[in-house]
Amino acid sequence: MKNSEYDKRVFYSESKVAATYDNFRYKGQSGAYVNNRELATTISLLPSDGTILDVPTGTGRLLKRLNRNNFHRVGGDYSEAMLNQIDEKGISKTRLDAFNTPFENEMFDVVVSLRFLFHYSDINIFFKEVYRILKPGGIFICQTYRWSPLAWDIPVPFMVGGKIHIHSDNKMQKLFCKTGLKVIEQKSIFLFSPFFYKYLPFIIVKALDVFERIVPDKLKVDAYWKSVKEN
């Protein structure tokens, strides 16, 4: 089966997929390294406190890392099976369509979206929705890929949830501007798809980490964007 033939919402709503997601992505020392890099990069872009929406939240891995005394944490996801993986007190959970959320206007200080935009070719509506629910001066943090082998519609020997869509830096800059969001910071990590880091010996992963520091950002795979809703 070609990867574009997977129904993403059905895939991530499967109980088995949700229950094994963290292990599938981040198991072992190398997988844990990837998870920590992704979360640390995201957290470094966050303000110190506020009401935060993580959408789609998945298993809630980001919200679980945040200090409950600093943030009012809300996780939104289409997959009820994913939301069921979150059992930590203090995290509000909402089943939703990320493109048409149930929230009121200007409700959140921060919106974060990880591992989501590359699942869709058209993300304009999502950006408009983020703008609607962000408070003036609110922060939007999201993640894109600059390249991935899954951008080609080829059969893969395992289920990974669908074809990856590439959103170039130039396209993203234009989309932020058109939406009324101003990019104030960008960080880039990983020399190739972080999914494959999990299968490498940890000594190789650490060596890649050293090499990554001298590689220009434009050659790295994973781009993290921090933007602000202009008043």
Residue-wise pLDDT tens digits, 146-203: 987 776 766 654 556 667 889 999 999 999 999 999 999 999 999 998 888 989 999 9
pLDDT band at 91 (very low <50, low <70, confident <90, very high): very high
Give dist(CA 113, CA 103) in Å, integer. Answer: 16
Give dist(CA 170, CA 177) in Å, integer. Answer: 11
Q: Which residue has the higher pLDDT, 7 or 179?
A: 179
Strand ranges in the chain using DSSP code E only, listed in sequence order: 50-54, 71-77, 91-95, 108-113, 134-145, 181-189, 222-229
Give dist(CA 91, CA 88) in Å, integer. Answer: 6
- pLDDT, residue 69, reads 84
Indicate whether 227 pLDDT > 80.
yes
pLDDT band at 100 (very low <50, low <70, confident <90, very high): very high
Closest CA to 41 of 180, 220, 230, 228: 220
pLDDT band at 118 (very low <50, low <70, confident <90, very high): very high
> What is the residue-averaged pLDDT of the chain?
91
Neighbours of 216 (CB within 10 A): 7
Neighbours of 167 (CB within 10 A): 19
Domain that holds residue 19: 3-229
Cβ within 8 Å of residue 34, ≥6 positions away: 25, 26, 190, 194, 197, 198
Backbone φ, ψ for residue 66 (5° rounding): -85, 145
Q: What is the mean predicted confidence (pLDDT) over 9-16?
A: 89
Write out the two tokens for 136: 């003036």
- pLDDT, residue 11, reads 84
CATH number of the domain encompassing residue 92: 3.40.50.150
Give dist(CA 210, CA 39) in Å, integer. Answer: 19
Cβ within 8 Å of residue 152, ≥6 positions away: none
Check: CB of residue 168 under 8 Å from CB of residue 146: yes
How many domains in the chain?
Answer: 1
